[in-house]
């Protein structure tokens, strides 16, 4: 705390010293006797103020936060100024003169000390950034832009860049203050010297998180000098720790909430809008015989788009009877089939078992059919499925358990099923990013 006051309190003696010099100058011009006492008093104040500034300065220095040649020059000037002011006060008080032009020479030295010491002091604190301010200071550090990256490693591409910009000059190999090296995984995770800097998933025991969450006035706040951590950087570090502080792997493989997706997009230009697999993969057109065989079985069949050979097949308005011949025709095109709509038919668990092999399905509508919990087990392996409509079936909570592993699911429709709100809550917990529509 005392150390943090130094940048504020150095300005006090500067004011006193200037006033003292002005008073002396005025007195000399007007030969006024009266102001002699005032001059002694002002030099006394200057001496006190500069000693106080020196004290807070030494406290700041002892914290180990400041470094380098600039610091040394600033320190010498600070000591010098305090000594000169004290001496000037003393000679005014006792009315003594030890050498010719004594006061003039001392004042010139004092002025030089103020200019040089002030300059190096200012550069130590990086302008006004070191003063604790209630707003975020502007920063000229490079912004992290990941818009052109396909694969993003949260640690390499974001977290370590923040650390490099704000922390590592005091926390690297060879200059690891507080015995903390923040440039390596081992250094960050080590608990050799008390709480580790990073405790995966545990903010309360992560020393780094604790330090950057303190008030900027606090002695232990990090970084102690230089541009502070911004609110957004802190949010990013917090999220990374809560994710288990992964050092490897792709950001896209993490489960990311909607809020965080928006934040990552805004802050780092990360585009997380997922492309469906059928937009990323090319497939040759289905052979015409197979295509026609499906048509003959009275299905509506269309490619997804002019340049996309995956198939959208539906039974809309056709026979409600899903026979095994009809399903066999579909099975012959199982790699092409990505949207399948068999709603309002007599599809049963046996039929669904066959559909469980259509590995490229992304949308499956089997609402108002005869499928049950038993049949749902068959689709546990459809790991590209994103939309599943079970509206108006006899599905119960037991059936929902078969869906809990389908992490690709984005929407499930469950109106008029036999599921309960407990079962749905359980599924929500297993699939936090999936919209589960129960019609209520």
Backbone CA torsion sign across 288, 290, 296, 297: negative
Chain-centroid distance of CA 284 in Å reads 42
Minimum CB separation of residue 159 from ligand HEC in Å reads 11
Q: Work out whether 211 is an interface residue with ligand HEC (CB under 6 A).
A: yes
As measured in angstroms, the least distance from the Cβ of 182 to ligand HEC is 7
Sheet holding 337-341, edge to edge: 300-305, 308-314, 337-341, 363-365, 387-389, 411-413, 435-437
Q: How far is CA 234 from CA 231, 306, 422, in A?
A: 5, 47, 36
Please identify which residue in 10, 197, 342, 364 interacts with ligand HEC, judged by CB under 6 A. 197
Residue nearer to ligand HEC on the CB measure, 107 or 171 = 171
**Under the criterion CB under 6 A, does residue 68 sit at the interface with ligand HEC?**
no
- Give the binding-site size for ligand HEC (rule: CB under 6 A): 24
Under rule CB under 6 A, residue 222 binds ligand HEC = yes
Asked whether 35 and 158 are in contact (CB, 8 A), the reply is no
| Contacting residue, 39, 42, 50, 65, with ligand HEC by CB under 6 A | 65
**Cβ-contact 323, 346 below 8 angstroms:** no
Binding region for ligand HEC (CB under 6 A) out of 14-22, 205-213, 351-359, 407-415: 205-213
- 177, 218, 234, 377: which one binds ligand HEC (CB under 6 A): 177
* 208 in Cβ contact with 222 (< 8 Å): yes
Q: For ligand HEC, what does the binding mask look like between residues 18 and 57, x meaning CB under 6 A?
A: ----------------------------------------
212 binds ligand HEC (CB under 6 A): yes
Residue 295: CB partners within 8 Å, gap ≥ 6? 301
Task: By CB under 6 A, name the one of 27, 169, 232, 363 that touches ligand HEC.
Answer: 169
* Alpha helices (H) in 63-168, listed in sequence order: 68-94, 102-124, 160-166
Identify which of residues 3 and 366 has a Cβ nearer to ligand HEC in the complex. Answer: 3
Residue 72 Cβ vs ligand HEC, minimum distance, rounded to whole Å: 16
Binding to ligand HEC by residue 181, rule CB under 6 A? no
Phi, psi at residue 80, to the nearest 5°? Answer: -60, -45
Q: Cβ 208 to ligand HEC, closest distance in Å?
A: 4
Sign of CA pseudo-dihedral 285, 289, 292, 297: negative
Structure tokens, 53: 């500034």
Contact status: 193 vs ligand HEC (CB under 6 A): yes
Measured from the CB atom, is 112 or 214 closer to ligand HEC? Answer: 214
* Candidate residues 111, 137, 178, 200; the one interacting with ligand HEC per rule CB under 6 A: 178
Q: Is 261 in the site for ligand HEC (CB under 6 A)?
A: no
Is residue 77 close enough to count as binding ligand HEC by CB under 6 A? no
Query: Phi and psi for 305 in degrees, rounded to 5?
Result: -160, 170
- Cβ distance 109 to 156 under 8 Å? no
In the complex with ligand HEC, the residue whose CB is nearer, 198 or 294, is 198
Please report where in the chains the tokens 């809008």 appear, as a residue: 273
Q: How far apart are CA 65 and CA 256, in angstroms?
A: 37
The first and second tokens of residue 332, run together, are: 């012959």
Could you say whether residue 7 binds ligand HEC (CB under 6 A)?
Answer: no
Positions 84 through 123 that interact with ligand HEC (CB under 6 A): none
Q: Which of 220, 274, 295, 316 binds ligand HEC (CB under 6 A)?
A: 220
Round to whole Å and give the CA distance between 93 and 23.
Answer: 15
**Residue 13 CB, nearest approach to ligand HEC (Å):** 25
Minimal CA–CA distance to 333: which of 272, 388, 267, 289? 289
Smallest distance from ligand HEC to CB 383, Å? 39
DSSP state of 333: T
Q: Is residue 124 involved in binding ligand HEC (CB under 6 A)? A: no
| Site residues, ligand HEC (CB under 6 A) | 64-65, 166-167, 169-171, 177-178, 180, 193-194, 197, 207-208, 211-212, 220, 222-226, 229
């Amino acid at each position: 705390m005392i150390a943090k006051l130094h940048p504020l309190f150095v300005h006090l003696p500067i004011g006193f010293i200037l006033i003292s010099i002005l008073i002396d100058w005025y007195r000399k011009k007007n030969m006024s006797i009266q102001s002699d006492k005032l001059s002694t008093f002002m030099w006394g104040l200057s001496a006190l103020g500069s000693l106080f500034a020196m004290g807070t300065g030494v406290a700041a220095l002892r914290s180990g936060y400041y470094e380098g040649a600039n610091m040394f020059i600033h320190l010498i000037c600070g000591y010098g100024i305090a000594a000169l002011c004290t001496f000037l006060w003393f000679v005014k008080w006792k009315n003594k003169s030890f050498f010719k032009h004594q006061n003039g020479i001392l004042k010139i030295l004092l002025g030089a000390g103020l200019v040089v010491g002030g300059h190096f002091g200012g550069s130590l604190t990086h302008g006004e950034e070191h003063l604790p301010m209630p707003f975020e200071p502007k920063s000229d550090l490079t912004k992290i832009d990941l818009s052109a990256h396909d694969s993003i490693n949260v640690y390499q591409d974001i977290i370590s860049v923040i650390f490099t910009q704000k922390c590592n000059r005091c926390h690297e190999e060879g200059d690891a203050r507080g015995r903390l090296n923040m440039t390596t995984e081992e250094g960050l995770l080590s608990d050799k010297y008390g709480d580790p800097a990073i405790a995966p998933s545990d903010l309360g025991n992560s020393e780094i998180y604790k330090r950057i969450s303190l008030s900027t006035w606090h002695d232990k706040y990090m970084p102690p000098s230089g541009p502070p951590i911004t609110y957004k950087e802190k949010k990013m570090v917090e999220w990374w720790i809560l994710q288990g502080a992964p050092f490897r792997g792709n950001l896209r493989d993490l489960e990311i909430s909607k809020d965080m997706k928006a934040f990552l997009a805004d802050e780092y230009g990360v585009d997380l809008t997922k492309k469906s697999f059928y937009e990323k993969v090319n497939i040759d057109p289905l052979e015409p015989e197979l295509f026609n065989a499906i048509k003959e079985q009275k299905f509506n069949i269309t490619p997804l788009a002019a340049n996309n050979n995956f198939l959208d097949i539906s039974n809309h308005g056709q026979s409600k009877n899903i026979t095994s011949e009809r399903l066999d025709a579909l099975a012959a095109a199982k790699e092409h089939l990505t949207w399948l709509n068999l709603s309002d038919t007599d599809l049963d668990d046996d039929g669904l078992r066959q559909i469980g092999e259509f590995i490229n399905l992304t949308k499956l509508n089997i609402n108002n059919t005869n499928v049950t919990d038993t049949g749902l087990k068959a689709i546990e392996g459809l790991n590209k499925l994103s939309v599943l409509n079970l509206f108006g079936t006899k599905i119960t909570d037991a059936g929902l358990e078969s869906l809990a592993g389908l992490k690709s699911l984005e929407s499930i429709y469950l109106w008029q099923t036999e599921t309960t709100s407990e079962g749905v809550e359980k599924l929500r917990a297993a699939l936090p990013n999936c919209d589960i529509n129960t019609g209520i």
